[in-house]
Structure 1
């Protein structure tokens, strides 16, 4: 019989079986999915069309293109903000593509939590699924 201090053993077993199935699916498709994810590059163009940013799946800057017309408006702060905003949009799209690739084998919420670096959400979900308390 379960007590408030002990996690639900049947729930833990079910979650362990689910994890085992997930790991098996990842292992079976892992190399192909990993290669697809690593190959992701997303390019976004600023709303004014003067800045183009390409990022990798991890949001790392791969390429930055600036249209020469940016010099007609010598506003460094505006240019910096435009680059940053365009890079954020490109990174968000890259992460969406990573989620799409791994959706068949990993629950979307878990992928998203990992991509966002949200360890708290990952641990809370694990604890919840294991039937424990935090």
Structure 2
């Protein structure tokens, strides 16, 4: 049917695949903005919640750690919880991207624009 078109049939297929990939990337970006992870430090005394995109959305601090003599310890615990949340967000984002590339039949480890 498309024999006379040569490579144009392949080009149409590639364009369709590119559109599908763009749609799926948009959906993934929306999903990453709503997926949350919780980073912890101090055995759960400080918890930082972030989206899978790495945006900090909540910080929960157990009041028992508020001792004026231990200000630096509290600051360290807060930073550790935020860093843990960011690391978990990065891992979650990477897993979601791997799932998408696999679903689209793309090679593993392919860097997608916008990620």
* Structure 2 Cα separation of the partners of residues 26 and 74 of structure 1: 54
Post-superposition shift, 1:21?
A: 8.2
Using structure 2 for the length normalisation, give the TM-score: 0.64
Residue in structure 2 matching 1:78, options 54, 69, 73: 73
Q: 1:102 to 1:21 in 2, by over 3 A?
A: farther
Secondary structure of 2:58 counterpart:
strand
Using structure 1 for the length normalisation, give the TM-score: 0.57
Contact 2:36–2:89 (CA under 8 A) maintained in structure 1: yes
Post-superposition shift, 1:25?
A: 4.2
Question: What's the C-alpha RMSD, in Å, of the aligned pairs?
Answer: 2.8
Post-superposition shift, 1:65?
A: 0.8
Residue 51 (structure 1) aligns with: 46
Contact 2:32–2:51 (CA under 8 A) maintained in structure 1: no
Post-superposition shift, 1:48?
A: 2.9
Secondary structure of 1:79 counterpart:
helix
Residue 93 (structure 1) aligns with: 88
Write the mapping of 1:20-35 to structure 2, written as runs, cut at 5 A.
Answer: 23-35=18-30
Q: 1:27 to 1:79 in 2, by over 3 A?
A: same
* Structure 1 Cα separation of the partners of residues 16 and 92 of structure 2: 23
Which runs of 5 or more residues in structure 2 are unaligned?
1-13
Q: What is the aligned residue count?
A: 95
Q: Which structure carries more relative contact order (alpha carbon 8 Å, separation 6+)?
A: 1
Contact 2:52–2:93 (CA under 8 A) maintained in structure 1: yes
Post-superposition shift, 1:73?
A: 7.0
Write the mapping of 1:4-23 to structure 2, written as runs, cut at 5 A.
Answer: 23=18
